Amino acid sequence: MFAQQLINALSLGSVYALFALGFTLIFGVLGVINLAHGAVFMVGAYAALQAVVLAELPIWAALVIAFIISGLVGLAIDILVLSPLRKRDAPHLIPMIATIGVAIMLNSAAQGLFGADTLRFPPGVVPDGSIEAGGLHITAVEIGIIALTIVIMVVLLLGLRRTSIGKALRAVAESPRAAALLGIDVEGLFRKTSFVAAALGGVAGVLISLYANAVYPLMGQPMLHKGIAVIILGGMGDIRGALIGGLFLGFAEVFAVAYIGSTMRDAVAFGLLFLILLVRPTGLFGKANERKA
């Protein structure tokens, strides 16, 4: 059982990390707690579902479509909502509230368009069933999620380290004002980040709905709660933190179920979160002195 639980924890942790990536990216660069990330995640899932069901596209094409559509939604949110708020230097809670409004709009629009029913991807878009080895079971989707999480993470980390856009991003994350003085196109970077973060959210939406076999308008809300826990655990705005935090939460939940009792799962997960914050007030990877809010 232990080995199977280890696999379960790894895939659940990857699911959380995948969701948290875009979430933490927005916070790290734009300094906004984007409560519409769950809705963008849902948009990605529906976009891919439509692509698969209506246009009968293969799943990789659907992923690309989800990537683009969610990315565009993210871009629209930035242009229409976040950017005007940035221009007038609104305190950081204000954009958060605006994103609540955006989330309500997207969620109810999805319900209007597609109905409230739980839908799923047709069977066979990804290999069904599970691979069995020595009594252990793992599915193709799980392998895909774990692999993709690691790939995205590595790409992002290398990208941030090595490329000029990465360096610019880090400068912006440190201080947007100073970055602007250095001649960095801060607004442009914010746009790109919004696109990429939302696009990643959309891809996460597709993969997680393949994993859970469920697509419904409010599917992003429960993930949002977990995502918040993940990025606090990892240290807000930190890419590695999203991975570590996600895995941490996944392992905490799975092993709480396995060895403590499933009724205590959330209590254990959030209790740990609470404790970690008390010991390390800015999360596992958080900087000692956070950017002044």
Q: Is 19 helix (H, G, I), strand (E, B) or coil?
A: helix
HSE on the CB side for 79, CA within 13 Å?
A: 9
Q: Using the minimum distance from each CB to another protein, give the nearer residue, 60 or 293.
A: 293
54 binds another protein (CB under 8 A): no
Choices 62-70, 153-161, 184-192, 274-282; region in contact with another protein by CB under 8 A: 274-282
Subset of residues 155 to 194 that bind another protein, contact rule: CB under 8 A = none
Task: For the CB of residue 194, give the shortest distance to another protein in the complex, in Å.
Answer: 16
Q: Using the minimum distance from each CB to another protein, give the nearer residue, 125 or 200.
A: 125
Subset of residues 193 to 222 that bind another protein, contact rule: CB under 8 A = 208, 211-214, 216-219, 221-222
Q: Using the minimum distance from each CB to another protein, give the nearer residue, 9 or 172.
A: 9
HSE on the CB side for 173, CA within 13 Å?
A: 21
Subset of residues 237 to 266 that bind another protein, contact rule: CB under 8 A = 253-255, 257-258, 262-266
93 binds another protein (CB under 8 A): yes
24 and 30 Cβ atoms separated by less than 8 Å: no
Member of 105, 154, 155, 181 binding another protein (CB under 8 A)? 105
50 binds another protein (CB under 8 A): no
What φ, ψ does residue 136 adopt, rounded to 5°? -100, 145
Q: Using the minimum distance from each CB to another protein, give the nearer residue, 168 or 224.
A: 224
Choices 6-14, 47-55, 156-164, 193-201; region in contact with another protein by CB under 8 A: 6-14
Q: Which of 68, 25, 27, 58 is nearest to 291 (CA)?
A: 27
Q: Using the minimum distance from each CB to another protein, give the nearer residue, 27 or 67.
A: 27
Q: How far is CA 59 from CA 47, 120, 148, in A?
A: 11, 13, 14
Choices 40-48, 64-72, 105-113, 153-161; region in contact with another protein by CB under 8 A: 105-113
Q: Using the minimum distance from each CB to another protein, give the nearer residue, 240 or 265.
A: 265
Subset of residues 125 to 144 that bind another protein, contact rule: CB under 8 A = 128-130, 132, 135, 137, 139
Distance CA 181, CA 186 (A): 10
Q: Using the minimum distance from each CB to another protein, give the nearer residue, 55 or 105.
A: 105
75 binds another protein (CB under 8 A): no
204 and 38 Cβ atoms separated by less than 8 Å: no
Choices 41-49, 65-73, 92-100, 186-194; region in contact with another protein by CB under 8 A: 92-100
109 binds another protein (CB under 8 A): yes
CB-based contacts of 62, cutoff 8 Å, min separation 6: 47, 48, 49, 51, 52, 125, 206
Q: Using the minimum distance from each CB to another protein, give the nearer residue, 19 or 168.
A: 19
- Both tokens of 72, joined, read 């565009």
Distance CA 291, CA 293 (A): 6
Q: Is 122 helix (H, G, I), strand (E, B) or coil?
A: coil
| Total of residues contacting another protein (CB under 8 A) | 88
What's the CA dihedral at 75, 77, 79, 83 to 10 degrees? -120
Q: What is the DSSP letter of 289?
A: S
Distance CA 154, CA 150 (A): 6
What's the CA dihedral at 70, 72, 73, 77 to 10 degrees? 140
Task: For the CB of residue 162, give the shortest distance to another protein in the complex, in Å.
Answer: 27
